[in-house]
Chains A and B, each alone.
Chain A
Amino acid sequence: GAGVSQTPSNKVTEKGKYVELRCDPISGHTALYWYRQSLGQGPEFLIYFQGTGAADDSGLPNDRFFAVRPEGSVSTLKIQRTERGDSAVYLCASSFQGPYNEQFFGPGTRLTVL
């Protein structure tokens, strides 16, 4: 079956602009996660949805970052007034209630803020 998909694969924007990153999870997966991976580092947690609601948003760095999942499937990560420090790969993952609850990751969106 189809895996987690993310669009766009690459996004280049200018400092101060607004961007939206989209994640389409595996069908039937109720949990959805956003992570950010900077060069040479492991992924860092941003936010986690169970269904439509944000169950844990403790990783969002500041109020410029916001995410939604209005119908419990597709999620959008929104970044306002982008800064150069926001440049990273944004990874989305989804999981279901299985024996390991392992997370299945998408290919990521590489965001570059000029």
Chain B
Amino acid sequence: AQKITQTQPGMFVQEKEAVTLDCTYDTSDPSYGLFWYKQPSSGEMIFLIYQGSYDQQNATEGRYSLNFQKARKSANLVISASQLGDSAMYFCAMRAPTGANSKLTFGKGITLSVRP
């Protein structure tokens, strides 16, 4: 079975600063994919970034980067140059095995608040 753990309480960051949102995972599948989604107060889940278990480099998408530490089973999201619009819930999710359309297992999420 797959498990995603997000234990940080609500996070606060000053506008224009960087913030790291933690995610640890557990799976027995050697091939898996890790996703981060953003959920603003409107409720819609927005895909941010993907990391495959066999990817040699950490994923980056604009201001988002993923600090992937496979041995520690962690996939932390780093948001650089925070903006007020980054205030939202952030969910880490896993699909295992990867390469196929299959379900996502989500963590409980982290609330991020960006202060002006």
Q: Which residues of B contact A (CB under 8 A)?
A: 4, 6, 33, 35, 37, 42-47, 50, 91, 93, 95, 98-109
Q: Report which of A30, A56, A105 forms a contact with B103, defined as CB distance below 8 A.
A: A56
A45-B42 in contact (CB<8A): no
Contacts of A31 in B (CB 8 A): 101
A107 near B: Cβ within 8 Å? yes
Q: Which residues of A contact B (CB under 8 A)?
A: 30-31, 33, 35, 40-45, 48, 50, 55-56, 59, 89, 91, 93, 95, 97, 100-108
A45 to B109, CA, bound (A): 15
B50-A50 in contact (CB<8A): no
B43-A100 in contact (CB<8A): no
Given contacts A93-B45, A104-B47, A107-B43, contact A44 B100 (CB under 8 A): no
Contacts of A101 in B (CB 8 A): 33, 95, 98-101
A59 to B100, CA, bound (A): 18
A41 to B4, CA, bound (A): 12
A91 to B106, CA, bound (A): 13
A59 to B37, CA, bound (A): 21
Contacts of A106 in B (CB 8 A): 44
**Top 5 closest A-B pairs, CB basis?**
A42-B106, A105-B45, A31-B101, A45-B103, A100-B50
A33 to B108, CA, bound (A): 19
Q: Could you tell me the distance in whole angstroms from the C-beta of A87 to the nearest C-beta in chain B?
A: 15
Contacts of A55 in B (CB 8 A): 101-102
A91 to B79, CA, bound (A): 26
B45-A45 in contact (CB<8A): no
A48 to B101, CA, bound (A): 9
A104 to B109, CA, bound (A): 18
A108-B44 in contact (CB<8A): yes
Given contacts A42-B91, A42-B109, contact A100 B33 (CB under 8 A): yes
Contacts of A30 in B (CB 8 A): 101
22 A-B pairs with C-beta separation under 8 A: A33-B103, A35-B106, A40-B108, A41-B108, A42-B6, A42-B106, A42-B108, A43-B91, A45-B105, A48-B103, A50-B101, A55-B101, A56-B103, A91-B45, A95-B101, A102-B35, A102-B47, A103-B104, A104-B47, A105-B44, A105-B46, A107-B42
